[in-house]
Structure 1
Amino acid sequence: MMKFKITQNIAILFLAVFLLSFTTAHKFYVSVTNMVYSEKNTSFQITSRIFIDDLEEVLKERYGINAKLATEDEAKIADEYIEKYIRAKFTIELNGEITDYDFLGKEYDNDVMICYMEVTNIDISDLKSITVQNEILTDLFEEQQNIVHLKWKGKKKSFVLIKENNKGMLNL
């Protein structure tokens, strides 16, 4: 498996372009996920930023849902299908075993949806590796890139995950 290395400056540049594009129609496909370990809560706190229009398109294509996200007419079943889709496309492995996470909810920021997730009760004494697989929107958009920033006890690693290379690993 070919690994993509990305410098912190390039990651910041990607994030800046992503954040500055909120008010215009985007011509690229990217999501940004941040995973930060909280020693206080012994958990990974996860936020994922996804363009609303892209997510609406995938919900319509996969499930036949006209979600109307971020509007007064948002479908009542939208949250259920958003969670279902994210669980199918975003996985975390601790020491090579898939780990369950809580989907805490979502909110909107301009034309981006922010999803909140958490992996709780992590036994850090036994943790040797963390693997993230992110296939969000790659089933609909060939150009989709999913940037993942992982912070754990002073270690930072960033991955650019694409359809052909959808996993990133941090060995501890």
Structure 2
Amino acid sequence: MKSFKKFLVVLVLPLMAFSAAHKFYVSVTNVNYSEKDKALQITSRVFIDDLDKLLLERYDIKAKLNTDNESPLADEYLEKYLRSKFVVEVNGSTASYSYIGRKYDADVLIFYVEVPNIELSTLKSIQIENEILTDLFEDQQNIVHLKFGNDKKSFVLVKSRTKGMLKL
């Protein structure tokens, strides 16, 4: 019996160490220019469980994202939140964007956004402000990749620095 208790301690102790591990909070956003569509095409990948927690804490909605019991209000509130926390500026002016929709990929939700009617010849700067989940998680990092032809720039945006700019 004594050896069984030792065996149990040896088995359970390492598992307890993993449960106390800190989670990494991150989103990844890609901004590309489509010459064919004359538009900025944006995808943003965010962990589903983080968005579930956000919708519950901010809007009191049990979204149950990516389940058979997903709330019918989920999409409406996800778009509302996205529009309040994600801003695109083109040439120093706030650009309106179309929320195309979302899809799931394993444990990630992908947002699709487009800023239409952008002429490459008039494009001088693009600024992205991304505060997604920074109001919920102190350690949230929002990585943004901007790509326009040969011009590329990446930013790691955090709660204290939520904006990044690419000058062309």
Q: Same fold (TM over 0.5)?
A: yes
Two-structure CA RMSD over aligned residues (Å):
1.2
Structure 2 equivalent of residue 47 of structure 1 = 43
**Gap runs ≥5 in structure 1:** 1-24
Structure 2 equivalent of residue 98 of structure 1 = 94
Structure 2 equivalent of residue 142 of structure 1 = 138
> Which of these residues, 11, 27, 31, is aligned with residue 31 of structure 1?
27
* Distance in 2 between residues matched to 1:170 and 1:108, nearest whole Å: 29
> Which of these residues, 67, 70, 84, is aligned with residue 71 of structure 1?
67
CA drift of 1:124 comes to: 2.4
Q: Contact (CA 8 Å) 2:35, 2:120: kept in 1 or not?
A: no
Structure 1 equivalent of residue 56 of structure 2 = 60
Q: Contact (CA 8 Å) 2:146, 2:154: kept in 1 or not?
A: yes
Structure 1 equivalent of residue 123 of structure 2 = 127
* Distance in 2 between residues matched to 1:154 and 1:101, nearest whole Å: 24
Q: In terms of Rg, which structure is larger?
A: 2
Q: Residue 121 of structure 2 aligns to a residue in which SS?
A: helix
For the pair 1:167 / 2:129, whether they are aligned, the reply is no
Structure 1 equivalent of residue 83 of structure 2 = 87
Q: Contact (CA 8 Å) 2:140, 2:158: kept in 1 or not?
A: yes
* Distance in 2 between residues matched to 1:26 and 1:102, nearest whole Å: 35
CA drift of 1:88 comes to: 0.4
Structure 2 equivalent of residue 113 of structure 1 = 109
Q: Residue 165 of structure 2 aligns to a residue in which SS?
A: strand
Aligned length: 148
Q: Identity of counterpart residues, as a percentage?
A: 63
CA drift of 1:126 comes to: 2.1
**1:65 corresponds to which letter in structure 2?**
I
CA drift of 1:26 comes to: 7.8
Q: State the Cα deviation string for residues 34-64 of structure 1 (Å, max 9, x = none).
A: 0110111111111100000101111111111
Q: Residue 125 of structure 1 aligns to a residue in which SS?
A: helix
**Gap runs ≥5 in structure 2:** 1-20
* Distance in 2 between residues matched to 1:50 and 1:26, nearest whole Å: 18
**Larger relative contact order (CA 8 Å, sep ≥ 6):** 1
* TM-score (norm. length: structure 1): 0.84
* Distance in 1 between residues matched to 2:105 and 2:165, nearest whole Å: 29
Structure 1 equivalent of residue 9 of structure 2 = none
